[in-house]
Structure 1
Amino acid sequence: MNHAGTRALWPRPIAAALLCLGALSTPASAVDTVVDAAAPLPAAAPLAWGVSPERLQRLHVFLDEATGPRGYLGGVSLVARNGRIVDWQAYGYRDLARSEPMRRDAIFRIYSMTKTVTSVALMMLIEEGKVALDDPVSRYLPAFADLPVLEAGAAARQRPAATPLTLHALLTHTAGFPAGLPGDEAALALQERADPHGAKDLRGFAERLARAPLAADPGERFGYDGAALETVARVVEVVSGQRFEDFLRQRIFQPLRMRDTGFRVPDAQRGRVVDITTMGDGGRLRIADGPSALHPGEALNAYASGAGGLYSTAADYARFAQMLLDGGTLDGQSLLGHKTVELMMRNHLTMLDPPVTQFSDAEGFGIGGYVVLDPAARGQLGSVGQFGWSGAASTTYTIDPREHLVAILLLQHLPRDGVDDLPRISRNFYDLVYQALLP
């Protein structure tokens, strides 16, 4: 596929104007911000903000190939530097038939990228003095008082937890819920028996979850799971007196003009939802299982999942990420104070030895996302203090305060173990974004 012949850095009228001005090869002083009414942030020529247009072509070629006939159906990427969008592209197709070209305003299931939004919601309540990080969860959800711990290797032996379960433990995935770690099997079986995911609302989820023991003492280990952030979402409901979805809409999405983000896509907009695929046994992509796959736009869960229930677009999430990069404020809308955002983007696993996640010895965890501790040990381009997270269906974002950078890649594919699946490309994506940055 010829990238230059099918799309440009900007909508075609703007691209033509920029090319006439020589914006992609002239000094930064020649062209700065350009008008693009559809852009979630001001659009600018890459060179004006320290991004090489020639090196960006490497990213375009790579994503063109990754969304080719034997690759992902399609995707959307967005790169912003210093608050300006320097690259925003759509690749491939929206549908399994590969008949409808992907659009930049396509709607994706972002799954665990929801967790950062949920974390921001609780931090807003902390700033209002309604809760504190070290508060016990039982202060707001009494059923979580005196949760026992199931000792590893003993199917029925429970003991009192050594420390109370706190909001901080929920936010940092150190709560002790079963998380697929060695020795978690018995605790996981009891949690599945309680069936919190079968609940119809967050209240029911929390009540069912509290019937099962923990797999470890709170604060003892990092164990990534969804139960913690579902519980955070329920705390937001109890403390705010609002349904979680209403709180997000009124306090985050509307102020940030995130018009296409929510737990359900309106009927009139469902033609923009991207088909979600998985690899079939025959080596060909197929539509994934589940109500949202069969009926794109339907809610991903029966309850408003704070762990992974949101739909969104690259444009909407760019505004959310830019708000965090700018210290909690965007376009005059202040959601958080800058010191709160600083706290979110610091490593909170310092009580552990080593203070890292289960996924990487080079990453700690803040509030709502990873924190890069050592880019060299991580094995990819980036910065100390870089923050971000990903979603189960191949979505990912990063915020880099040192480089004043936001980068987002949205695909829509659920990987499968045990089959010859599509390659994971988020590492390649970030390497190609960072190699394009100029000093």
Structure 2
Amino acid sequence: MHKLLLVMVLAAFALPARAADPLPRATPESVGLSPERLARIGAMVETEVREGRIPGAVVAIARRGKLAYFEAHGFQDGGRSKPMPRDAIFPIASMTKVLTGATLMSVLEEGRLSLWDPVSRFFPAFAEMRVVADGNPDSTVPAARPIRVIDLARHTSGIVYGNRGTTPAHQLWQRSLGGYSRMSGGDFIAAMAKLPLLHQPGTTWEYGLSIDVLGLVIEERTDKSLGEAMAERILRPLGMQDTGFVVPEGQRGRYATPLPKDPVSGQPQDVRVGLVTPGFEGGGGQAVSTAADYIRFAQMLLNGGTLDGKRVLSRKSVEEMTRDHLSPEIANNVTLTEPQLTNFGFGITVAVRREGGSDVLGSPGMFSWNGAYGTSMWVDPKEELAVVFMASTPGLIRQHYRRVVNALVYGAIAD
């Protein structure tokens, strides 16, 4: 009798799953969230749409393994003519990195590499890397130690994005690799190996092309393209059918586009990642996905590597991926890329919150990373919370939405 009563009570809290729901549905109240406060998210987006600052957005929030919020707001296209569907496809830019990190851990679990392997084990051209001396790329010194796989994964390789700085070294990188997405993987590696690193390996967190190299390491270890390895190990087991490196022709009508002009700078803006086949599948920023797909991925990480009874990664792999790998002697420049992530270290392709205060709400151990075109995600294990925000806002206004959505989500916790 008591078991029957328990089943009836639990059933009363559950909501029937919709056809496109990526996770089991639950009422917000049953997982400790306020529906009235969650409604502030939609109200915020709709206001931003009316005032011409954002085309629209799709938001997915899961708590305690249940989908408590999954809504689309505004418009899919920059011309604001087509209502935003919940299955809109977004270019996720650097949120690709986290997918690459998970794929790396899957390869590591098979003993195919170690986090401390030198990258020159896979690409001999990296054996004799040099480092800029005094900011002058014409004056270099030998690297004090090899770049290791862990350096690629946590951005301590000395590899940079040429367009993220104005030094002569950054300018050299931009001239050499500014169009890297059109290069073959082999040409990309050959060109990079000739450039001087900005920092000695293992000394400084510097955002750059490290994860693109990491994706090519995965290709070398698996004898498959990154997209094939990722699909086999992560995407297909999780049912992430709309995630990949090229949007199929028949699905391009679902691609979300930005406003024609940046609402802050007034400059023209356009994003076509995923609509053109790249020279190689860049693990650092060339994938597309949906909110539904990515919340399943985030929930898998929150669950310690499993979803729907399937184990995708071991619990220890997820723990290693999502712990802080920036030791005190490593210069931490995470806020130069994500200003709101104060007091965050870095794990394997994700920022990890440390003890103490921050510019965003959350708990120690939460992990996050975002995309330059307006997408964001975070997982808070202490709160059993996973959040995905998908929008096409490639300008700096994206940083505003990251703070606001963070505040609105945590403001809805009611238990």
Q: Kindly report the root-mean-square deviation, in angstroms, between the aligned alpha carbons of the 2 structures.
A: 2.4
Q: Deviations over 1:390-435 (max 9, x none)?
A: 000111000010011001111102115xxxx687211110111011
How much has 1:154 moved relative to structure 2?
3.4
Check the 8 A contact 1:194/1:211 in 2, yes or no. Answer: no
Task: Give the letter for the 2:360 counterpart.
Answer: Q
User: Where does residue 19 of structure 1 map in the other structure?
Assistant: none
Does 2:407 correspond to 1:425? no
Q: Which structure 2 residues correspond to residues 232-311 of structure 1 after superposition, within 5 A?
A: 232-277=214-259, 279=261, 288-289=269-270, 291-292=272-273, 297-299=274-276, 301-311=278-288
User: Where does residue 405 of structure 1 map in the other structure?
Assistant: 385
**2-side partners of 1:423 and 1:229: how far apart?**
22
Q: Deviations over 1:234-266 (max 9, x none)?
A: 100101011111111222111111011111111
How much has 1:196 moved relative to structure 2?
6.8
Q: Which structure 2 residues correspond to residues 195-210 of structure 1 after superposition, within 5 A?
A: 195=177, 197-198=179-180, 199-210=182-193
Check the 8 A contact 1:223/1:358 in 2, yes or no. Answer: no
Q: Deviations over 1:138-192 (max 9, x none)?
A: 0011111020112124341221111111000000000012357999723223323
More helix by share: 2
How much has 1:363 moved relative to structure 2?
0.8
How much has 1:193 moved relative to structure 2?
3.8
Q: 1:369 to 1:281 in 2, by over 3 A?
A: closer
Moved more, 181-190 or 233-242: 181-190
Q: 1:93 to 1:72 in 2, by over 3 A?
A: same
Identity in percent = 36
Relative contact order (alpha carbons < 8 A, sep ≥ 6): 1 or 2 greater? 2
Q: Which structure 2 residues correspond to residues 123-134 of structure 1 after superposition, within 5 A?
A: 123-134=105-116
User: Where does residue 211 of structure 1 map in the other structure?
Assistant: 194
User: Where does residue 364 of structure 1 map in the other structure?
Assistant: 345
Does 2:294 correspond to 1:317? yes
User: Where does residue 16 of structure 1 map in the other structure?
Assistant: none
How much has 1:358 moved relative to structure 2?
4.1
**1-side partners of 2:331 and 2:218: how far apart?**
31
How much has 1:123 moved relative to structure 2?
1.1
Task: Give the letter for the 1:403 counterpart.
Answer: E
Q: 1:224 to 1:99 in 2, by over 3 A?
A: same
Q: Deviations over 1:70-129 (max 9, x none)?
A: 220111011000111000111101112212100100010000000000111111111111
Q: Deviations over 1:260-286 (max 9, x none)?
A: 111111111111101133635997685
User: Where does residue 308 of structure 2 map in the other structure?
Assistant: 331
Check the 8 A contact 1:114/1:310 in 2, yes or no. Answer: yes
Check the 8 A contact 2:76/2:83 in 1, yes or no. Answer: yes
How much has 1:200 moved relative to structure 2?
3.0
Q: Which structure 2 residues correspond to residues 77-226 of structure 1 after superposition, within 5 A?
A: 77-179=59-161, 185-195=167-177, 197-198=179-180, 199-225=182-208
Q: 1:49 to 1:78 in 2, by over 3 A?
A: same
Q: Give the structure-1-normalised TM-score.
A: 0.86
Task: Give the letter for the 1:322 counterpart.
Answer: Q
**2-side partners of 1:66 and 1:264: how far apart?**
29
Gapped regions of structure 2 (runs ≥ 5) = 1-8
**2-side partners of 1:195 and 1:285: how far apart?**
24
Gapped regions of structure 1 (runs ≥ 5) = 1-26
Count of aligned pairs between the two proteins: 402
**2-side partners of 1:352 and 1:380: how far apart?**
25
How much has 1:46 moved relative to structure 2?
0.7
Check the 8 A contact 2:162/2:172 in 1, yes or no. Answer: no
User: Where does residue 414 of structure 2 map in the other structure?
Assistant: 438
**2-side partners of 1:394 and 1:241: how far apart?**
33
